[in-house]
Structure 1
Amino acid sequence: MRSIPALLAVAATTLALTATPASAAEGAVIILTAGETPWGIGDPRPGDCHDLGPEFHALVNETDGPIVVFGDRACEGEGTLVHAYDRTQFGLHYSFQALT
């Protein structure tokens, strides 16, 4: 019979070996600007902050996960959730982060 600490050590090692790292959301976030060609950010990784640029007009989330759009360029403060495959328009939002 094994001791509880030994069983916990085995369980922790198994969990560490089978855990998968955070991966990027599959798809692209399309940024639409006033009068310019749309551009996109493909497969954004969770937690990375992406600046939308000064001419930002609208955003299309074509990824398989939600993103948060922020009112500053550093992904700080209150944000607005944009679900997967949703389009939204903003006037005063300047950065976004993928959540998954």
Structure 2
Amino acid sequence: MRSILALLTVAATAVTLTATPATAASGAVIISNLGEPAWGIGDPRPGDCHDLGPGYHAVINETDGPIVVYSDHACAGEPMLVHAYDRTQYGLHYSFEAMT
């Protein structure tokens, strides 16, 4: 009986851990265009693709997690990892997604 109870407890814990929704990265990803004011996307959720639209974009990661920036729209093209709190302006990127 104890082994069945232990097995059910482990199974319930596993279901709870896998059912927890992904939390957003705290902070913002700052986007700038040449000649236009910078804007930000706050608390991006992991896996959501953010298409930045047309134009030249510099991306600064001010979140507490890594992001991946892409050289094409819809999170396609050559990916590049940008670490948390990396204030480097990575230019010529058109989409990004948060990793955590």
Question: Secondary structure in 2 aligned to 1:89?
Answer: coil
Contact 1:25 1:45 in 2 (8 A): yes
Unaligned runs of 5+ in 2: none
Give the TM-score normalised by the residue count of structure 2.
Answer: 0.84
Write the distance in 1 (CA, Å) between the matches of 2:72 and 2:41.
18
User: Percent same amino acid among aligned pairs?
Assistant: 63
Unpaired runs of at least 5, structure 1: none
Superposed, 1:11-90 pairs within 5 Å as 11-17=10-16, 20-86=20-86, 87-90=88-91
**How far apart are the structure 2 equivalents of 1:98 and 1:12?**
30
Aligned-partner SS, 1:35: coil
Deviation at 1:83, TM superposition (A): 0.7
Deviations 1:44-94 (A, max 9, x none): 000000012212331110100000001211112430001111123222x21
| One-letter amino acid of the counterpart of residue 17, structure 1 | T
SS at match of 2:2: coil
Runs of 4+ in structure 1 displaced over 3 angstroms?
17-20
| Greater CA drift, 58-67 or 76-85 | 76-85
- Please list the CA deviations of residues 18-65 of structure 1 after superposition, one character each: whole Å capped at 9, or x if unmatched: 564210000000001010011110000000000122123311101000
